[in-house]
């Protein structure tokens, strides 16, 4: 079983070495919790060893996104210049019109040898559909298409405790949850490996911080209630 490094220092050890090759994994969290940053760690781990990667954004322009990631010290432009990173800004309507015809709008990149792909975010994509069944069907459609290629996928979603998440959690192989909880007078960020098919994974919530260097785990830190 080939495992791909998540690029988050210390995380691979908690999931038997990394993400399973060809798996589809979800990163769920509140706005600003670090979902996109988590995904960039995963792409950089691949690009460092020469893998081609694709970031599909349903919301953010490349310029803004690259600028924001530069704050963490990630030089995405240099990977793009080296031909390792494709950034594809799409719209909800574009994705929907393609998916409705059983086509992925960014297929050209996948066939160009990409091995790691991010879809940021499923929540935005789902806004294109009103009925929950159409949302689920379109996601299943997308995942089925992705499954045909030798690629490993991370997809983000906003956490939404009230409404469920159009069943996406049942469709994916792995789920990382990012929390931002008020504990006493402070907010603490924690990461949980909620599900990982075929993997003996850690069940602990791990404290993390977002800072220069990106998403940094502090596995030794206990959360005091
Ligand atoms: N230089 C920095 N140092 C520390 N924290 C930072 C820095 N730059 C950004 N942040 C934090 O990172 C957060 C954004 O991270 P990221 O974009 O990965 O989150 P996200 O979950 O993808 O957000 P969204 O839901 O808006 O897409 C900001 O809300 C801020 O708290
Ligand atoms: Mg984001």
Counting from 1 in the atom list of ligand 1, the atom nearest the Cα of 40 is: 18
Counting from 1 in the atom list of ligand 1, the atom nearest the Cα of 215 is: 18
Q: What is the pLDDT of residue 165?
A: 58
* pLDDT average, residue stretch 150-164: 81
On whether the pTM is more than 0.85, the answer is: yes
Q: How many C-beta atoms surround the C-beta of residue 77 within 10 A?
A: 16
| CATH code reported for the domain at 3-218 | 3.40.50.300
Q: In the structure, which protein residues have their CB atom closer than 6 angstroms to any atom of ligand 1?
A: 29, 31-37, 68, 71-72, 210-211
**pLDDT for residue 50 is more than 70:** yes
CA 152 to ligand 2 center in whole angstroms: 19
Q: What is the pLDDT of residues 120-153, one digit of tens each?
A: 999 888 888 888 888 888 888 889 989 999 999 9
Q: What is the pLDDT of residues 178-205, one digit of tens each?
A: 999 888 898 999 999 999 999 999 999 9
Q: How far apart are CA 179 and CA 95, in angstroms?
A: 29
Per domain, the residue ranges of the chain are: 3-218
**pLDDT for residue 104 is more than 90:** no
Considering the chain, what is the average pLDDT of its residues?
91
In the block, tokens 């060809």 appear at: 22
């Amino acid at each position: 079983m080939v495992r791909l490094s998540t690029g988050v220092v210390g995380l691979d050890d908690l999931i038997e070495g990394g993400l399973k090759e060809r798996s589809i994994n979800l990163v769920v969290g509140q706005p600003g919790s670090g979902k996109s940053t988590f995904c960039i760690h995963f792409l950089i781990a691949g690009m460092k060893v020469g893998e081609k990667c694709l970031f599909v954004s349903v919301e953010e322009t490349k310029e803004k996104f690259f600028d924001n990631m530069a704050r963490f010290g990630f030089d995405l432009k240099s990977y793009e210049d080296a031909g390792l990173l494709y950034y594809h800004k799409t719209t909800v309507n574009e994705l929907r019109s393609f998916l409705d015809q059983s086509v992925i709008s960014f297929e050209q990149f996948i066939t160009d040898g990409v091995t790691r792909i991010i879809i940021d975010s499923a929540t935005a994509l789902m806004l294109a559909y009103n009925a929950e069944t159409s949302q689920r069907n379109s996601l299943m459609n997308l995942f089925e298409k992705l499954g045909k290629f030798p690629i490993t996928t991370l997809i983000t979603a906003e956490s939404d405790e009230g409404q469920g998440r159009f069943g996406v959690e049942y469709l994916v192989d792995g789920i990382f949850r990012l929390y931002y909880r008020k504990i006493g007078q402070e907010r603490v960020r924690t990461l949980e490996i909620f599900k990982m098919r075929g993997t003996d994974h850690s069940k602990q919530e791990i404290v993390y911080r977002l800072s220069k260097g990106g998403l940094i785990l502090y596995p030794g830190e206990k959360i005091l209630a």
